[in-house]
Amino acid sequence: MKGIDVSEYNGAVNWQTAKDAGLQFAMLRCGYGSNQTNQDDPTFAHNAAECERLSIPYGVYLYSYALDTADAESELAHILRLLRGHKPLFPICVDMEDADGYKAAHGMPSRQMLTDILQVECGGLKNAGYLAGYYVNKDWYENQIVPESLESYVLWYARPGVQQSDLACGIWQNEFPETGGQWDGANISGSGCDTDISYADYPKMVRQNGLNGWKNQPANTQKALDAKTGSLVWTKCVIDTTMDLTRPAGVCYTVGLTCPQRPVITSGTPGKVCVCPVMTNGTGRWLCNLVGYGAGDTGIYTHIPGEAVCKRFVFHVS
């Protein structure tokens, strides 16, 4: 999965443009340092709301200034305060670096203390029901922390400008603006954007394990919008497309579904998308080709006997 990480330095991100450019997830800075409102990231609330509105899975991170475990407790409270009312689908991470030299200027903590700080914050997040992780670069991983003590948490690894990550990690930050990172809608003025690769399906993991505020998901089901009431419901029609998408007219897009019965798939707006017959491979897996032919948007709906008609995503024909 391809993603970006952003903070107030990215300015006003155009999330629709970013999504149209193929964005699959984002990591949002919620703030920095101890639990003070003047250290909240002023763009976090808007960025989280936009990702939720556009169904862009996101995670959250806080830039750490902690020098000891008491600082770490305050930073943990800072993160938990800003997570209220949100249900991220990616990890909640502690950004452990010293980009501005604060830690070095105030007495760089020992390797064990830096590890203890991460254990306090990540452990506190885990105890609160969140999927916890930490962010470090290669030098910090090898010289500043004890990674063997942090194996319970997701590693978000900063290693830009190389062909592939040289460490096993959950998320790889593969480019900085300085190394060529760019993303339409999210570039820093006159520069670029941090970009990331996720090696795990965190949305599935979070939902299935009831993390980050999500209740445990019933087996072999998926959440969808009831087309009549607009409320969230569980459906046994599990679809592989859960984000809105854009395709040029004439280009075929194949939707894959897993459900016990043949699903009915429909387009909500006439004249936009041709819905081809649903085919099966005989193992409960169903395929349906969608071909746009009229510019504009239409909702794509599924229905199986015994359940409500569900809206699954919006198909934009360009």
DSSP letter for each residue of 194-258: EEEEE-S-HHHHHHHTT-TTPPPPPTT-EEEEETTT--EEEES-EES--S-EEE-TT-EEEEEEE
Q: Is the pLDDT of residue 269 over 70?
A: yes
Q: Which residue has the higher pLDDT, 171 or 261?
A: 171
pLDDT band per the 50, 70, 90 thresholds, residue 216? low
Residue 275 predicted with pLDDT over 90 = yes
Burial degree of 94 (CB within 10 A; 0-12, 13-18, 19+): buried
* pLDDT per position as a tens digit, 105-153: 999 999 999 999 999 999 999 999 999 999 999 999 999 999 999 999 9
Q: What is the pLDDT of residue 217?
A: 63
Instruction: Please tell me the predicted confidence (pLDDT) of residue 153.
Output: 96
- CB-based contact 131:205 (threshold 8 Å): yes
- CA dist., res. 153 & res. 163, Å (int): 25
Residue 315 has pLDDT above 90, yes or no: yes
The pLDDT of 192-199, averaged and rounded, is: 95
Residue 219 has pLDDT above 80, yes or no: no
Question: pTM of the entire structure?
Answer: 0.70
Domains, the chain, in order of start with CATH, read: 2-208 (3.20.20.80), 222-317 (2.60.40.1080)
What average pLDDT score do residues 86-90 get?
A: 95
Q: Over pLDDT 90: what percentage of the chain?
A: 83
**How is 73-102 classified by DSSP, letter by letter?**
HHHHHHHHHHHTT---SS-EEEE---TTSH
Q: Taking residues 82-102, what's their average pLDDT?
A: 94
Token pair recorded at residue 149: 């003590």
Per mean pLDDT, which range of 71-85, 146-160, 221-235 is the poorest? 221-235
pLDDT value at 283 more than 80 = no
Task: Supply the mean pLDDT for the chain.
Answer: 93
The predicted-structure confidence for 296-305, as pLDDT tens digits, reads as follows 999 999 999 9
pLDDT band at 222 (very low <50, low <70, confident <90, very high): confident
pLDDT at 155: 97
Mean pLDDT of the 88-104 span: 95
Other residues' Cβ atoms within 10 Å of the Cβ of residue 318: 11
Q: Given a cut of 90, is residue 44 above it in pLDDT?
A: yes
- Residues above pLDDT 70, as percent of the chain: 99
d(CA 91, CA 212): 8
For 152-170, write each residue's pLDDT tens digit.
Answer: 999 999 999 898 999 999 9
